């Protein structure tokens, strides 16, 4: 009886050890990627390719306005990599020592466009026509890069003072697009990459490049990442031709 009991207990212990080892091996490293809202669709495509190539790593995205994300990182949010829609927000983290220059790279560019609701009768075909709009949406310039570029463009065209009272500020570029799609505004100024995915709003005009600062999207590894090796793998993956092509497919511009 004692022999049988010892055999059963030994067998149970072996099973527990095997199950424990199996659970440990199946556990994935989770990376938190803070990224501009305009990158959402492209990054979900890249996520599938990356996780297929690195099955031991899971990517979790935190999308939002670049300024808000930068502030979160400055305040100690647990982030492994930052993919920004604005160089100034990104450069602040480099200046503060939260991203090393050797762990950072400019990846793609974007364009600024006016979108109007499908079926709009306002006859808005260019930036000079925005005076016809009763309400215009842009991202909050202080925290949303697309909003800052929009304000800069309108100032360059000397119409910001005329149009500023018509502005409806959005928390990020996707919300600005939604305002146009739902007809809550007559026009929104957003990135081309957001406009081309919409079925309820169309592009009315594209801002000329010298009307605003270059729209550059930099990415970099956060210095205090809990998973620096895995973060480096994803950082390198983002710079691969296949990832750049995926970004181009969603309307981003390859940098020369």
Beta bridge partners of 106: 218
Return d(Cα 147, Cα 138) in angstroms, integer.
5
Annotated binding site for molybdate: 38, 66, 146, 173, 191
Annotated binding site: 38, 66, 146, 173, 191
Q: List, in order, residues 6 or more apart from 174 with CB less than 8 Å away.
A: 37, 38, 40, 194
User: 154 burial class (0-12, 13-18, 19+ CB within 10 angstroms)?
Assistant: buried
């Amino acid at each position: 009886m004692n022999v049988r009991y010892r055999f059963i207990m030994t067998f149970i212990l072996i099973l527990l050890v095997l199950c424990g080892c199996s659970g440990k091996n199946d556990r994935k490293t989770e990376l938190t990627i803070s990224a501009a809202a305009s990158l959402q669709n492209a990054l979900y495509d890249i996520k599938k390719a990356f996780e297929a190539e690195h099955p031991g790593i899971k990517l979790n995205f935190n999308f939002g306005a670049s300024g808000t994300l930068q502030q979160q990182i400055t305040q100690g949010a647990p982030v492994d990599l930052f993919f920004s829609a604005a160089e100034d927000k990104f450069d602040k983290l480099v200046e503060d020592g939260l991203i090393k220059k050797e762990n950072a790279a400019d990846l793609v560019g974007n364009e600024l466009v006016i979108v109007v609701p499908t079926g709009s009768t306002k006859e808005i075909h260019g930036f000079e026509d925005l005076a016809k709009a009763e309400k215009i949406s842009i991202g909050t310039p202080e925290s949303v890069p697309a909003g800052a570029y929009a304000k800069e463009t309108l100032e360059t065209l000397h119409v910001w003072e005329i149009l500023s009272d018509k502005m409806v500020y959005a928390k990020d570029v996707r919300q600005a697009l939604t305002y146009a799609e739902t007809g809550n505004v007559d026009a929104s100024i957003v990135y081309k990459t957001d406009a081309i995915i919409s079925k309820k709003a169309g592009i009315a005009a594209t801002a000329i490049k010298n009307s605003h600062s270059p729209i550059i999207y930099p990415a970099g590894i956060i210095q205090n990442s809990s998973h620096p090796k895995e973060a480096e793998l994803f950082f390198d993956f983002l710079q691969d031709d296949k990832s750049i092509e995926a970004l181009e497919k969603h309307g981003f511009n390859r940098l020369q």
